Structure 1
């Protein structure tokens, strides 16, 4: 188990390097974009990016997820999945292309670039899923970094030297996406996995039975995340939505590391699914990740009001009220995704979709009730309860094929400390006294759990 844990951490580190590098490069380019591009152009970029990401699972039928899952089994399954997935992808692209031609005839602006990004993005997702499933973790990360560097360099040329504006930005996006595909293709010799002789309708059906439930699951996940904003706009107005957007900034810090971990965990969960001690491995990993994320919540609560008081305008001060609920929402969302990896390992993707739908219904229903009464606090609590519900449902369902046992006493203790921190935030003024009290609560919890963390450190550093 220790060796699997070290491999999980090692892969997480590799994915994190790629993720943080690309995010840092994107951040460095923001001053250029806001200087060269008008607000209308930047808004167009955001719309194209949003709909490209939203349509990717829809137009490809999320078949790249099936490629990733089958590639984790063995090379023969990888070839079969990849070959059949390419046929599905090509068929979907023909339909999508005909729709884009119709939109272009109607005079829809930038539809050519949009088509190009969807085609390249979906093909890149299939190739990247293949190499990630085959274990080319470093290549997957390098491709992302190279693509970001090419994108940044081309933007400097197209926007500053050639002054192409929005066209230059879109062209740079398309070229960098193509470069990513080339790096992955030549790095793993992807063409070796294309075998026309294994293309069969029955094989494509098998992939689609797995991947199709992931399409509404992805759309529902997006809907759950966006529904509260719609409810806020309807019942509380644009200003409340602005506060809510600012409140989301601190919680998003947790996902900087967790996003990389989830990519690594999906691989580890599938590889260890058939092991005799799979349940124990899943349980221990779940417990560690849950505790560490809750500790991150405590640490961020220590600085929440200070950050809101010093780093943002006074008119946004009330945004802090939504932060505690949103921090817990991120934790429950991440743990739900972690348990969701066991559905992928067991090839029971229908359960992922159904549990996400349940969460959407709970979250939206609570938002309609709580937002008119409590504004942004109601929206954050509705999200929190909705994602806590989907986590509970998934833990209950997965006991049939992977028994993840939650250490409820520890979870209760961690949540109790978080509750005390929130109470002190409401009672004490912003300053050193509040920060000291909140920090002492967190340090006290760590001290009480010190033997646990000592054992964890010994396990991870033991070479045997």
Structure 2
């Protein structure tokens, strides 16, 4: 990919990703004033459960259609891919809903119907959004993400502030927003015109599943790393602690979205290349990515206390402590995702699965060992350990096969320095000291990334 094209795609994704996440972020302080920690914790648990079930029900077909359509040139073949993936997806959803309703006969739950509809729409929306991206409509992909978040924000404000719907407003806003966006995507991508039941092809479905099914346990492994903590907190601590941790995990989304902007653009091009034969020459670019990640994470870490202090209700102020460690976890998550693009390029879904599964198991074991002593901090530290293992496994595989070199000593040193800084911030809890660290980290960020900032300014400012 040329630098110009990569920057262009990065900016396209920036608009939708930053916009949608910014809108979602605006909802965080609003929720803390209208929902108590218990309700917020309950909703977060149910959304976490949706994250667990979605890849199982969908077979991760969105990843298959993206890969297969991007490599396909013939319109007829593309229509066959779309038709077969939709047939399979809807059959899977129908089967799951039947099983789900049978279970509800024996185990009743207050929010069952809301949860069920949220799950279905949360499967269909990213599927059709990914289809738009696969067809090359990056602008639709990004704009629809922004629209989805905006509708959720507006509906929540109306239902919480003016109708006092409480927890139910969160479900209704998600359902309404997803359904509106699904309809827009269906018509704008011409799915109705392309869909044909007669295109059913057993061999094509097998090929789609052959690629996507190994990604299902991979997603479950990521769930173990990112989301299983919520249930462990409920088991060993309390639903109120879940509410606190829910807020802690919202702010690192800022760094996640910045990373995802680059990864989306990076993935678009790298998945079109045939192999990793030139990987030995890409270490320098990855080294710059490491510098950017750690310097930006340090800046957000030093800002963490004030971010929470000025944006949420006072009951949630302690959320900043776990939040700082979560930023470090996000760094290793992004480094792992970067290397994961190379694994996807050579169709090494088994290696993706192995690395993610190992990381997921380590996270659960770490939290189980330390949650009674460290509370929610054990979950945040577990994310660092598990994502580092995930990154290290993928690095070893690529280095062994392609001589892809990474400066591990620098990574370990930077991680150690940042964790020491976090420990000082928690121990001293002095605002003047924190302001000094914010100033210092901002200077470090601009010095370390001076070259990238200059390129951006010259080209776009």
TM-score tier, shorter chain, comes to 0.7 to 0.9
| Superimposed CA distance per residue, residues 51-90 of structure 1 (whole angstroms, 9 cap, x where no aligned partner) | 4443221112111211111122124454343222122113
| Superimposed CA distance per residue, residues 261-320 of structure 1 (whole angstroms, 9 cap, x where no aligned partner) | 333333232123548645534x34432322111001221333345667787788877665
Give the Cα separation in 1 of the matches to 2:305 and 2:417: 17
Range 406-415 or range 65-74, more displaced: 406-415
Partner of 1:454: 451
Partner of 2:57: 59
Listed as ranges, the matches of 1:295-334 within 5 Å are 295-304=295-304, 322-334=322-334
Partner of 1:94: 94
TM-superposed CA distance for 1:40, in Å, is 8.7
Give the Cα separation in 1 of the matches to 2:30 and 2:298: 35
TM-superposed CA distance for 1:332, in Å, is 0.8
TM-superposed CA distance for 1:370, in Å, is 3.5
Which structure ranks higher in relative contact order (CA pairs < 8 Å, sequence separation ≥ 6)? 2
SS of residue matched to 1:72: helix
Listed as ranges, the matches of 1:175-214 within 5 Å are 175-196=176-197, 198-214=199-215
RMSD, aligned α-carbons: 4.2
Partner of 2:122: 121
Range 110-119 or range 68-77, more displaced: 110-119
Listed as ranges, the matches of 1:30-429 within 5 Å are 49-76=47-74, 78-103=78-103, 109=110, 111-151=112-152, 170=171, 173-196=174-197, 198-231=199-232, 244-245=245-246, 247-274=248-275, 277=278, 279-281=280-282, 283-304=283-304, 322-399=322-399, 404-408=404-408, 410-411=410-411, 414-415=414-415, 417-418=417-418, 421-422=421-422, 425=425
Q: Are residues 418 and 273 of structure 1, via their aligned partners in 2, closer, same or farther at CA, if it must alter by over 3 Å?
A: farther
Q: Are residues 207 and 398 of structure 1, via their aligned partners in 2, closer, same or farther at CA, if it must alter by over 3 Å?
A: farther
TM-superposed CA distance for 1:176, in Å, is 3.0
Give the Cα separation in 2 of the matches to 1:167 and 1:65: 31
Give the Cα separation in 2 of the matches to 1:409 and 1:400: 18
Q: Are residues 459 and 86 of structure 1, via their aligned partners in 2, closer, same or farther at CA, if it must alter by over 3 Å?
A: same
| Superimposed CA distance per residue, residues 323-348 of structure 1 (whole angstroms, 9 cap, x where no aligned partner) | 54322211111211222222222222
TM-superposed CA distance for 1:355, in Å, is 1.1
Q: Are residues 11 and 321 of structure 1, via their aligned partners in 2, closer, same or farther at CA, if it must alter by over 3 Å?
A: same
Q: Which of 7, 10, 17 pairs up with 1:9?
A: 7
Give the Cα separation in 1 of the matches to 2:166 and 2:320: 37
SS of residue matched to 1:84: helix
TM-superposed CA distance for 1:392, in Å, is 0.2
TM-superposed CA distance for 1:138, in Å, is 0.2
| Superimposed CA distance per residue, residues 97-147 of structure 1 (whole angstroms, 9 cap, x where no aligned partner) | 322443565565565554444444333333222221222110112223334
SS of residue matched to 2:71: coil
Q: Are residues 155 and 241 of structure 1, via their aligned partners in 2, closer, same or farther at CA, if it must alter by over 3 Å?
A: closer
Kept after mapping to 2: 8 A contact 1:321/1:376: no
Give the Cα separation in 1 of the matches to 2:130 and 2:352: 19
SS of residue matched to 1:271: coil
SS of residue matched to 2:227: helix
Kept after mapping to 1: 8 A contact 2:38/2:240: no
Range 374-383 or range 138-147, more displaced: 374-383
Give the Cα separation in 2 of the matches to 1:234 and 1:169: 24
| Superimposed CA distance per residue, residues 158-214 of structure 1 (whole angstroms, 9 cap, x where no aligned partner) | 778899887776555444323212322332323454355553222211111211122
Residue-pair matches, total: 457
Give the Cα separation in 2 of the matches to 1:153 and 1:441: 35
Give the Cα separation in 2 of the matches to 1:109 and 1:398: 48
Kept after mapping to 2: 8 A contact 1:329/1:383: yes
TM-superposed CA distance for 1:454, in Å, is 2.8
Give the Cα separation in 2 of the matches to 1:75 and 1:312: 50
Range 60-69 or range 222-231, more displaced: 222-231
Give the Cα separation in 1 of the matches to 2:252 and 2:266: 21
Q: Are residues 344 and 25 of structure 1, via their aligned partners in 2, closer, same or farther at CA, if it must alter by over 3 Å?
A: same
Kept after mapping to 1: 8 A contact 2:325/2:422: no
SS of residue matched to 2:405: coil
SS of residue matched to 2:333: helix
Give the Cα separation in 2 of the matches to 1:265 and 1:101: 41
Give the Cα separation in 2 of the matches to 1:378 and 1:108: 30
TM-superposed CA distance for 1:92, in Å, is 0.8
Kept after mapping to 2: 8 A contact 1:8/1:264: yes
Give the Cα separation in 1 of the matches to 2:420 and 2:166: 51
